[in-house]
């Protein structure tokens, strides 16, 4: 997968993305990984070479993300992380379930991230909400109800030449400052 999507500023090109078996790649071939909540992932599969053809015609491969299912007693997990450049991430996971057939289990995750960024005009914030309800039926089949919402506001300072970087690594590329490149993404899914 090395090199695929390298020229795409905000999204991944040439790689097919799936979350819980649902295509997360748009019809134009671009996929957004920012709606995948890593804290609620069960496992991630990366397929390259001829195996990726099982999931379409993406020459770069396929990434299959599967989220956890609720289990055991109802529980709440809260998290917070902070760092340089006013970087903050807060998360909340609610989950619970049962081993009985025909009764649902659930997992709901929500997170908020924001940063001022290292470079000028490189701040970003992101709100991400995911929910998954699962019913294991008597006949061995399973029904999943999945919903996802992401709201991203990210500034792009643009690339620098080596000379510009050596002069001031925090500066904004000249054209970026003139056109004020900002990415605003609001995406939601209900399956």
Asked whether the whole model's pTM tops 0.85, one would answer: no
Give DSSP secondary structure letters for 11-24.
SEES-EEEETTEE-
pLDDT digits (tens, 9 = 90+) for 31-84: 777 778 888 899 999 888 777 677 777 777 888 899 998 988 999 999 999 999
Tell me how far the alpha carbon of residue 13 is from its chain's centroid. Answer: 15
DSSP-derived letter for residue 25 is B
Inform me whether the pLDDT recorded for 181 exceeds 60. no
Q: Do residues 88 and 114 make contact, with C-beta atoms less than 8 angstroms apart?
A: yes
């Amino acid at each position: 997968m090395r090199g695929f999507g390298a020229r795409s500023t905000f999204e991944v090109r040439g790689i097919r993305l799936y979350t819980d078996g649902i295509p997360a790649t748009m019809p134009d071939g671009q996929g957004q990984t920012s709606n995948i909540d890593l804290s609620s992932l069960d496992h991630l599969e990366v397929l390259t070479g001829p195996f990726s053809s099982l999931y379409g015609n993406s020459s770069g491969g396929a990434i299959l993300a599967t989220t956890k299912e609720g289990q055991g007693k109802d529980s709440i997990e809260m998290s917070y992380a902070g760092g340089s450049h006013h970087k903050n991430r807060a998360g909340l996971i609610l989950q619970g379930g049962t081993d009985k057939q025909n009764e649902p289990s659930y997992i709901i995750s929500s997170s908020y991230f924001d940063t001022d960024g290292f470079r000028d005009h490189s701040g970003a914030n992101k709100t991400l909400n995911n929910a998954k309800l699962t019913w294991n039926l008597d006949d061995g089949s399973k029904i999943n109800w999945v919903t996802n919402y992401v709201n991203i506001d990210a500034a792009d300072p643009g690339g620098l030449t080596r000379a510009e970087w050596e002069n001031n690594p925090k500066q904004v590329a000249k054209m970026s400052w003139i056109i004020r490149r900002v990415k605003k993404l609001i995406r939601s899914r209900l399956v």
